[in-house]
């Protein structure tokens, strides 16, 4: 077992074919990491909820939620958002605030601007913005350092564009030095309580860690991007899933063209539909991390599934003076840092936290 505070290797799928990636830097400034949320609908223009399309720098989404609630004199529960966005970045997303029968403060934009939040657009809508309703996020990332001139980087990028990338949770999920994972283990060991984890972040951290562990097993065995007998396959871009009893030529071909993805468990209460070879990985996960699995089940979080692989939508690489710019779209819940770690060597990208 790896000692507490150390980190375990998280394998990169491209190293076997391309060797270690070149050293590089990213997110030198917030403008080097731009994220824009993608919704498949727009506010209707009327209703009890005021929707705000905002741009933020140097803030988490939850910090913006607190500022917005305070400015509108409502509780934080009256504020809705689809997904949490990076702090060290320029990010654009919708938020909603419940204001039945009244307008927002006339100086709302000015109040938020003090905290580094720009209100770009406002509109009314009948319903609160709910978590996970966005389709995905559009990223525009800048890479600097040795990687800019490395001859193999573009080949690595083209491989990911054709074959997809491992859909692991990025280091921001686990906090600085993995401290969120240590907190999650402690909370689950003594029995999870809502008052100790209002946003459910500790539950999310534990499930993310277990998912990354399963993904690492599949990467190590070279089958993270292939369907196995007994696999729960997920249709690209949707939550639709079905059990693969036998991997025939048609299913294998659909997986090869990224129409279907193998999936991993997000641990919780409920019966997993996997069988055969795919189920063996989940059994190994429970054997290795029984206390975390038991703690999540005791907390009552429901079992779910997540694709092991993600497709890069509308990918583009462009060269600029002294840097490379990468543009692509990822499904909701997927991390751009999981793409970057296949492309460049950087201290924040090469490991996943370890449990004591």
Q: 109 and 119 in contact (C-beta within 8 Å)?
A: yes
Q: 95 and 76 in contact (C-beta within 8 Å)?
A: no
Catalytic residue among 32, 86, 197, 225: 86
Would you call 57 exposed, middle or buried from its count of C-beta atoms within 10 A (0-12, 13-18, 19+)? middle
DSSP letter assigned to residue 269:
B
Distance CA(280)–CA(282), nearest Å, equals 5
What are the structure tokens assigned to 261, written together? 């993805």
Distance CA(282)–CA(288), nearest Å, equals 10
Q: 100 and 48 in contact (C-beta within 8 Å)?
A: yes
Q: 4 and 356 in contact (C-beta within 8 Å)?
A: yes
Distance CA(55)–CA(61), nearest Å, equals 10
Beta bridge partners of residue 33, listed in sequence order: 141
Q: 255 and 204 in contact (C-beta within 8 Å)?
A: no
Examine the residue annotation and report whether 86 is marked as an active-site residue of this protein: yes
Beta strand pairing call for 79-81 and 49-57: unpaired
Q: 12 and 337 in contact (C-beta within 8 Å)?
A: no
Beta strand pairing call for 165-166 and 33-38: unpaired
Would you call 110 exposed, middle or buried from its count of C-beta atoms within 10 A (0-12, 13-18, 19+)? exposed
Q: Catalogue the active-site residues.
A: 86
């Amino acid at each position: 077992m790896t000692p507490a505070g150390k980190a375990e290797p998280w394998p990169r799928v491209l190293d076997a074919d391309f060797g270690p990636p070149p050293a590089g830097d990213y997110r030198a400034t917030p403008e080097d990491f731009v994220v824009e949320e993608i919704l498949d609908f727009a506010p209707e223009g009327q209703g009890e909820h005021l929707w705000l399309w905002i741009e933020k720098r140097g803030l988490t989404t939850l910090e913006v939620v607190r500022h917005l609630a305070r400015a509108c004199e409502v509780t934080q529960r009256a504020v809705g958002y689809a997904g949490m966005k990076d702090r060290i970045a320029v990010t654009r997303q919708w938020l909603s605030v419940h204001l039945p029968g009244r307008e927002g403060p006339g100086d709302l934009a000015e109040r938020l601007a003090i905290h580094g939040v720009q209100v770009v657009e406002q509109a009314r809508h009948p319903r609160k913005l709910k978590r996970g309703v966005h389709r995905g996020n559009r990223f525009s990332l800048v890479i600097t350092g040795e990687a800019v001139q490395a001859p193999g980087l573009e080949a690595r990028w083209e491989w990911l564009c054709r074959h997809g990338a491992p859909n692991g949770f990025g280091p921001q999920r686990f906090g600085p030095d993995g401290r969120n994972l240590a907190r999650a283990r402690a909370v689950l060991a003594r029995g999870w309580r809502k008052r100790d984890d209002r946003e459910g972040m500790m539950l999310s951290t534990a499930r993310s860690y277990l998912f990354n562990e399963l993904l690492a097993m599949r990467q190590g065995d070279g089958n993270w991007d292939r369907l196995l007998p007994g696999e729960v396959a997920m249709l690209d871009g949707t939550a639709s899933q079905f059990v693969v009893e036998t991997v025939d030529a048609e299913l294998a071909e659909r997986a090869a063209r990224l129409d279907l993805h193998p999936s991993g468990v997000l641990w919780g209460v409920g019966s997993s539909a996997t069988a055969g070879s795919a189920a063996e990985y989940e059994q190994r996960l429970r054997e290795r991390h029984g206390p975390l699995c038991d703690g999540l089940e005791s907390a009552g979080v429901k079992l779910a599934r997540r694709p092991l692989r993600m497709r890069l939508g509308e990918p583009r690489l462009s060269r600029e003076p002294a840097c490379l710019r990468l543009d692509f779209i990822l499904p909701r819940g997927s991390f751009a840092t999981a793409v970057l770690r296949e492309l460049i060597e950087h201290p924040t990208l090469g490991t996943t936290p370890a449990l004591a």
